[in-house]
Amino acid sequence: MGIADRLIEDVGLRGGVSKLTPEQIQKTVNAVISGETGAKLKAYAETCMRCGLCAQACHFSQSHPDDPSYTPAAKVQATMGVLLKTGGKVSPEFIYGMAQLAYTECNLCRRCVHYCPIGIDTGYIMSTVRRICHKLGVTPQYIQDTAHSHSATFNQMWVKDDEWTDTLMWQEDEAREEFPGLRIPLDKEGADIYYSVIAPEPKFRTQLIYQAAAIMHAAGVDWTMPSEPGWDNSDMCMFTGDFEMMGRLKRKHFESAQKLKVKRIVMGECGHAFRSVYDMGNRWVAWKMYPVPVIHSIEFFWELMKQGKIKLAKKYPGPVTVHDPCNVVRGRGHHEKLRELVRFLVDGPIIETASNREHNICCTAGGGVINCGPPFKNVRLDGSKAKAEELRATGVKTIVAPCHNCHGGLEDTVHRYKLDMHIKFLGDIIYECMEKPS
Amino acid sequence: MHPPALWDWESGQRVILASMERPENVAWLEEYHISPDGERVAVLASLEEGGFTALVNGEAWENPFEKAWCPRFSPDGRFTAIVQQDGMWTLAVDGEAWEESFDFMWSTQFAPEGEAIAACIQSGGEYGLCIDGVTWETLYENASQCVLSADGKASAAVVQLAQLKPADIEAFKKGVYGVAVNGQSWDANFMNCWTPAFDAKGEHVAAQVRLNLYDYSIAVDGKTWNEIYGCVWEPRFNPATGKVVAPVRLNGRWGLAQDGQIIWEPRFGQCWQQIFSPDGKNIAAIVAPDFGKFTVAVNGKAWGVTFPVVTDLVICREGATVAALGCVDNADWQVLVNGRAWAGVWDMAWKPVISQVGGHVAAKVSKGKRQTIVVDGRAFAREFDQVFDPTFSPDGKKLLIRGIDKGSVVRIVADVAQA
């Protein structure tokens, strides 16, 4: 089996390859490989020993145990391996399969790096394959639409400038019913904290903004949110391979915070955006590290807990299990802080999945895979079988998952595999259990 | 107009507001704002009985509103806020609301050298600008990034020219964005447009454009440069020559192009926020000579001092003085002047200001919970709970310091030589 045996029709992929010529493909492939890669890719390509250890690392591979084409090494060989071997002399139909594989069968979760004896980063190689696909105009329809939204509105869900502020005011009004005097301070210069979110929050997860405002209010935090674009820290352009737009988004985000002269950015419970702000987007711009410190909600809530600023009226009934989002755990090492926080919030033990902490299995939604939309939903859910089995084995009813995409993916997984579990953000639990000032 | 030449430059201190106590009928006060001349201090106030007002030098506006936000002083000292009345939004200027009202309003803009006030509006799902209470005749599917000319007589914004169906990626790629000037869109449409900017006379507009997913350029009055680039940043007009200069990226490196011709070779890891001296003879920009190392380049030559982050670039009238801020981890801030970093290291610093005469530089800075002003490298003798950006007198001999300390708002005029 291979990707050619499981092609799925997608408007974006089909429309893209319909315009390609072999000459254009070869020129683009070689332009990216010679102009944008270097020793790292060459070393990875030349040192893979085909030992097969990465098969145990990849949840797609674990979920398809009889099909070696899902192993990271095989996916690399079927994509970048062919491009390097042929010098880019491949057909448009090959590009279709390569794009489908790179965008929908690899979450860029980097678990395989831990298993590879020589540390080959398949996520990097797949990102480079996606970069080539972007340059060829062959990207899945739904994630490309998200990238278009980023470019037009500086957020990923076509939220217009008025809708953003209006939503914040609406949530502020709602919250004032419960917390008289609560504010969502807009454009407050010099605040300690600039709170940034991703566009699904104002679009359809507004309760997360409400809860964040409630927690900030109860903890007495000096915070602000911007009224103008820059508020969305997310970055699907990073995942389509549109690095120019990725850099533009990060510039907008950080300059929005710099303009307000805040001390730190706290970002909501999102995984991929963290990767963009501290690793990829910032560095495309030429900042070695982020120009304004960015604190993920796990760390921020942990700080509030340590400082005694979150006081609990009750504990959330456990036991629970914890899902470690790849980008803030493998990418940042927040797994122990996450567990300290969960132990503080929950009455009962944490029942770990067999793979946990930095070895956690991805939710199978990350890396932009869930953003590729309905055509690829079954690909994603077939690939999450390994995760589902680990979750079922815990025997608990609650999954704590501090990441939006993980939530979306795990909700689908819970439904598909009839796990009878529900998923909570940290903010859900803190809001539910905290002492609420009247 | 109320130019600095007409302000009170008598040396000494005056108390503008002796008490900042919350009045009994006020549930909470928001953040304080102060007029450029330091004579008026204003704050939005939430009223106990519901609604909002503004307190200006302690006096409430005559009529309260249901809501109020986006409080700002105009350059000539009028206090404005976007206010809601009967569920509709408009702008209140010194408490007087415009007659026109909208479903939403945001992003108040002031003409830098005029009296015009504008804001973005949404009415019935259509978008545009309202300037001094007069709305563009043509409204659009969306309008953003609004900007006024220096004299305020012209306005522009990026506009969406057609509705897009959900996930219609092909329609997007055909280009549905443009720039509208005074409400009229350019004939040309693009995949994306960003950061429209006027020339000094308000007669021409330039913007970043994306022609397709990969090709970027600059369009001036709707006409695209012949050259395309891997990426571009904000174009700006030379105030003296009217030529357009923009950062451009070629082969992964950044430089500056003028009317499509390279004037700074693309050799930087980054190059942006270029500014001109008013005589148009000098260009400065923030650049990264190497990855992770930022500085300022003047007329293409980079300073030797580098920081992980450089912001807030300014240049004086004749171009003889260029200043910016450098920082490490958004914490250790230093003021940079003509290639040298002042000795003081601060928790935060604000955009430097340069005197029109004499080349003096001042900036607001903070350490811990206290703020002050540094002038020509020396910290002002007094600290404040909060201080606002300083202003030099037209002759460069005096410095206006506006501050809040110990529960009162003060206006201090200091001699620069003794500050």
* A165/B104 Cβ within 8 A: yes
pLDDT at B419 over 80: no
Examine residue A127 and state whether it is found in any structural domain, yes or no.
Answer: yes
Which pTM value belongs to this model? 0.97
CA distance A237 to chain B (A): 11
* A244/B216 Cβ within 8 A: yes
Q: Which of residues 61-120 of B touch A (CB under 8 A)?
A: 67, 69-70, 103-107, 120
Please indicate, yes or no, whether residues A215 and A333 belong to a single structural domain of this protein: no
Residue A15 near chain B (CB below 8 Å): yes
**Axis crossing angle, helix A22-36 with helix A92-104, rounded to the nearest 10:** 50
Please indicate, yes or no, whether residues A127 and A203 belong to a single structural domain of this protein: no
Q: Out of A270, A303, A336, pick the residue that ends a domain.
A: A303
Nearest-by-CA chain A residue for B251:
A35
What is the pLDDT tens value at each position of chain A, 438 positions in all? 899 999 999 999 999 999 999 999 999 999 999 999 999 999 998 899 999 999 999 999 999 999 999 999 999 999 999 999 999 999 999 999 999 999 999 999 999 999 999 999 999 999 999 999 999 999 999 999 999 999 999 999 999 999 999 999 999 999 999 999 999 999 999 999 999 999 999 999 999 999 999 999 999 999 999 999 999 999 999 999 999 999 999 999 999 999 999 999 999 999 888 889 989 999 999 999 999 999 999 999 999 999 999 999 999 999 999 999 999 999 999 999 999 999 999 999 999 999 999 999 999 999 999 999 999 999 999 999 999 999 999 999 999 999 999 999 999 999 999 999 999 999 999 999 999 987
Residue-wise pLDDT tens digits, A395-427:
999 999 999 999 999 999 999 999 999 999 999
- Helix-strand-coil split of chain B, %, nearest 5: 5, 55, 40
Rounded to whole angstroms, the Cα distance separating B350 from B331 reads: 12
Ramachandran quadrant class, B107 (left: phi over 0; alpha: psi -120 to 50; beta: rest): left
* B172/A148 Cβ within 8 A: yes
Examine residue B52 and state whether it is found in any structural domain, yes or no.
Answer: no
Task: List the one residue out of A166, A170, A181, A169 whose CA is nearest residue B47.
Answer: A181
Please indicate, yes or no, whether residues A26 and A100 belong to a single structural domain of this protein: yes
Domain extent, residue A370, equals 311-433
Hey, what are B40's tokens?
Answer: 């008026």
Please indicate, yes or no, whether residues A420 and A391 belong to a single structural domain of this protein: yes
Q: Which chain B residues are within 8 Å of A292, Cβ to Cβ?
A: 330
CA distance B161 to chain A (A): 12
Domain extent, residue B294, equals 236-304
Please indicate, yes or no, whether residues A292 and A320 belong to a single structural domain of this protein: no
pLDDT of res. A45: 86
H/E stretch holding B165:
none
H/E stretch holding B255:
strand B253-258
Q: Which of residues 327-346 of B touch A (CB under 8 A)?
A: 329-331
* B31/A11 Cβ within 8 A: no
Rounded to whole angstroms, the Cα distance separating A198 from A76 reads: 31
DSSP code at position A264: E
Examine residue B34 and state whether it is found in any structural domain, yes or no.
Answer: no
Examine residue A148 and state whether it is found in any structural domain, yes or no.
Answer: no
Q: Out of A274, A303, A332, pick the residue that ends a domain.
A: A303
Q: Which chain B residues are within 8 Å of A248, Cβ to Cβ?
A: 231
Amino acid A254 reads F
Residue A202 near chain B (CB below 8 Å): no
Closest by Cβ to B213, choosing from A11, A229, A242: A242
Amino acid B88 reads M
Rounded to whole angstroms, the Cα distance separating A136 from A118 reads: 31
Nearest-by-CA chain B residue for A288:
B292
pLDDT of res. B1: 66
Q: Which chain A residues are within 8 Å of B195, Cβ to Cβ?
A: none
Q: Find out whether B373 and B386 touch, Cβ atoms under 8 Å.
A: no
* CA-based radius of gyration for chain A: 22
* B330/A187 Cβ within 8 A: no
Q: Out of A139, A163, A188, pick the residue that ends a domain.
A: A139
Please indicate, yes or no, whether residues A231 and A371 belong to a single structural domain of this protein: no
Examine residue A147 and state whether it is found in any structural domain, yes or no.
Answer: no
Residue B350 near chain A (CB below 8 Å): yes
CA distance B155 to chain A (A): 18
Examine residue A36 and state whether it is found in any structural domain, yes or no.
Answer: yes
DSSP code at position A215: H
CA distance B180 to chain A (A): 15
pLDDT at B69 over 90: yes
CA distance A171 to chain B (A): 14
H/E stretch holding A145:
helix A141-153
pLDDT of res. A278: 87
Examine residue A255 and state whether it is found in any structural domain, yes or no.
Answer: yes
Mean pLDDT in chain A? 97
pLDDT of res. B319: 82
* A286/B292 Cβ within 8 A: yes
Task: Please tell me the total count of domains within chain A.
Answer: 3
Q: Name the band, by pLDDT with cuts 50, 70 and 90, for residue B290.
A: very high
3-state secondary structure of A405: helix
Share of chain B above pLDDT 90, in %: 97
**Axis crossing angle, helix A426-433 with helix A206-219, rounded to the nearest 10:** 50
Please indicate, yes or no, whether residues A49 and A109 belong to a single structural domain of this protein: yes
Please indicate, yes or no, whether residues A109 and A227 belong to a single structural domain of this protein: no
**Residue B389: exposure state from Cβ atoms within 10 A (0-12, 13-18, ≥19):** middle
Q: Which chain A residues are within 8 Å of B172, Cβ to Cβ?
A: 145, 148, 152
Rounded to whole angstroms, the Cα distance separating B299 from B313 reads: 14
Examine residue B277 and state whether it is found in any structural domain, yes or no.
Answer: yes
Q: Which of residues 238-277 of B touch A (CB under 8 A)?
A: 249, 251-252, 269-270, 272
Task: Please tell me the total count of domains within chain B.
Answer: 1
Please indicate, yes or no, whether residues A91 and A38 belong to a single structural domain of this protein: yes
- The residues near B59 (Cβ < 8 Å, ≥ 6 apart) are none
| Cis-peptide into A293, omega within 30 deg | no
* B103/A291 Cβ within 8 A: no
Residue B144 near chain A (CB below 8 Å): yes
Closest by Cβ to A291, choosing from B122, B177, B330: B330
CA distance A342 to chain B (A): 29
Examine residue B207 and state whether it is found in any structural domain, yes or no.
Answer: no
Examine residue A149 and state whether it is found in any structural domain, yes or no.
Answer: no
* B28/A187 Cβ within 8 A: no
End-to-end CA distance of chain B: 28
Residue B40 near chain A (CB below 8 Å): no
pLDDT of res. A283: 96
Please indicate, yes or no, whether residues A221 and A298 belong to a single structural domain of this protein: yes
- Best of A261, A262, A279, A280 to disrupt the B interface by mutation (most B CBs within 10 Å)? A261
Residue-wise pLDDT tens digits, B362-392:
999 999 999 999 999 999 999 999 999 999 9
Closest by Cβ to A161, choosing from B144, B170, B331: B144
Examine residue B265 and state whether it is found in any structural domain, yes or no.
Answer: yes
Q: Which of residues 255-284 of A touch B (CB under 8 A)?
A: 258, 261, 263-264, 283
- The residues near A5 (Cβ < 8 Å, ≥ 6 apart) are none
Q: How far is the CA of B133 from the CAs of B75, B94, B96, in angstroms?
A: 18, 14, 11
Residue A71 near chain B (CB below 8 Å): no
Mean pLDDT in chain B? 97
* A169/B291 Cβ within 8 A: no
3-state secondary structure of A417: coil
Closest by Cβ to A165, choosing from B30, B106, B331: B106
3-state secondary structure of A266: strand
Q: Find out whether B183 and B204 touch, Cβ atoms under 8 Å.
A: no
Rounded to whole angstroms, the Cα distance separating A190 from B324 reads: 18
Residue A247 near chain B (CB below 8 Å): yes
The dihedral sign for the CA sequence A116, A367, A62, A93: negative
Mean pLDDT, to the nearest integer, of B342-349? 98
Q: Find out whether B127 and B146 touch, Cβ atoms under 8 Å.
A: no
* A289/B308 Cβ within 8 A: yes
Q: Find out whether B82 and B119 touch, Cβ atoms under 8 Å.
A: yes
Q: What residues form DSSP beta bridges with B307?
A: B294
Examine residue B197 and state whether it is found in any structural domain, yes or no.
Answer: no
Ramachandran quadrant class, B94 (left: phi over 0; alpha: psi -120 to 50; beta: rest): left
Amino acid A321 reads T
Please indicate, yes or no, whether residues A317 and A395 belong to a single structural domain of this protein: yes
Please indicate, yes or no, whether residues A201 and A113 belong to a single structural domain of this protein: no
DSSP A146-214: HHHHHHHHSSTT---HHHHHHHHHHHHHHHHHHSTT----BS-TT-SEEEEB-THHHHH-HHHHHHHHH
Task: List the one residue out of B285, B280, B320 whose CA is nearest residue B302.
Answer: B285
Residue-wise pLDDT tens digits, B110-158:
999 989 999 999 999 999 999 999 999 999 999 999 999 999 999 999 9
Examine residue A323 and state whether it is found in any structural domain, yes or no.
Answer: yes
Number of inter-chain CB pairs under 8 A, A vs B: 115
Examine residue B287 and state whether it is found in any structural domain, yes or no.
Answer: yes
Q: Find out whether B110 and B2 touch, Cβ atoms under 8 Å.
A: no
Which position has the token pair 């607001």? Answer: B364
Mean pLDDT, to the nearest integer, of B245-273? 98
Residue-wise pLDDT tens digits, A114-157:
999 999 999 999 999 999 999 999 999 999 999 999 999 999 99
Amino acid B169 reads I
